[in-house]
Amino acid sequence: MCDVQAKLIPWLDRELSSDQAAGVDRHIKGCQECRDRLATYRQVSETIDFYCDAVVAAKGRRHLSQWVPVLASAVIAAVALFLVLPQRRVGPPPVLTPTAAVTSASAISVPLPAPHPAEPATPKMIHKRHAVPPVREPALKWQPSETAVQIALPADAMFPPGAMPRGMNFIAELSIAPDGSVQQVRLRE
């Protein structure tokens, strides 16, 4: 093994003084073994560069790919909200049966809000078919007044906003049995 081999890597890295570098230059022109070793060291150096670039590229891609599912989920959620919410707003008003209204109200007496001054009702807001007509059936069994509970239901709670004129309310009269269950419901304006 020739003595110059120890200087090959510093020579490759330009770490030798000019005199030493000139000596190595002269030597490798006539030494096949040193030229081969030099080629090997050069190739290893290039491979390390390749490795470093590859690691940076791989971690950079992983960095971006971490956000892809999050962004995709956010986009899907936004699209779903965009599609679903307007449908709810313009959909048909829910049909409340007296039983459902009673279940949700659960015997809480809500004070009747003061009626608004008479406003000219806009024709497009009134849909008489959704109004619940007063029940007047004397034939039905009706409990004494002391067992009845009155609940004022704002029209907005039963119909979509704008479906009824402002200030319109309904009174639900509940007839409560001794065991606490609802026996009868009367809904009137």
Partner 1 sequence: MSDDSLPLALPLLRLASGSSEVTTLYRELRKPLLRYLVCLGLSSDEAQDVVQDAFLSLQRHLASDGTRENIRAWLFRVAHNQARNRQSSYHRRFSEPLESQMDFLADHPTPEQRVLEKEKFRRLAAAIRLLTESERECLLLRAGGLRYREIGEVLGMAVSTVGDTVERAIKKLAEKCNV
Q: Which two tokens stand for residue 131?
A: 């109004």
Q: Segment near partner 1 (CB under 8 A), from 20-28, 43-51, 106-114, 147-155? A: 43-51
Quick check: 8 and 41 in contact, CB under 8 A?
A: yes
2 binds partner 1 (CB under 8 A): no
Nearer to partner 1, 7 or 186 (CB): 7
60 binds partner 1 (CB under 8 A): yes
| Residue from 3, 18, 19, 64 binding partner 1 (CB under 8 A) | 64
Quick check: 152 and 110 in contact, CB under 8 A?
A: yes
55 binds partner 1 (CB under 8 A): yes
Per-residue binder mask for partner 1 (CB under 8 A), 150-179, x = binder: ------------------------------
Q: What is the nearest approach in angstroms of partner 1 to the Cβ of residue 45?
A: 7
The H or E element spanning position 62 is helix 32-90
> Cα separation of 95 and 121, whole Å?
23
51 binds partner 1 (CB under 8 A): yes
The dihedral built from the CA positions of residue 17, 21, 24 and 26, taken in this order, carries a sign that is: negative
79 binds partner 1 (CB under 8 A): no
Q: Which two tokens stand for residue 69?
A: 């599912």
Nearer to partner 1, 48 or 77 (CB): 48
Q: What is the nearest approach in angstroms of partner 1 to the Cβ of residue 63?
A: 4
143: DSSP letter? -
169-176 and 182-188 beta bridge pairing: antiparallel
**Maximum Cα–Cα distance across the chain:** 125
Binding site for partner 1 (CB under 8 A): 6, 9-10, 13, 15, 40-41, 43-45, 47-64
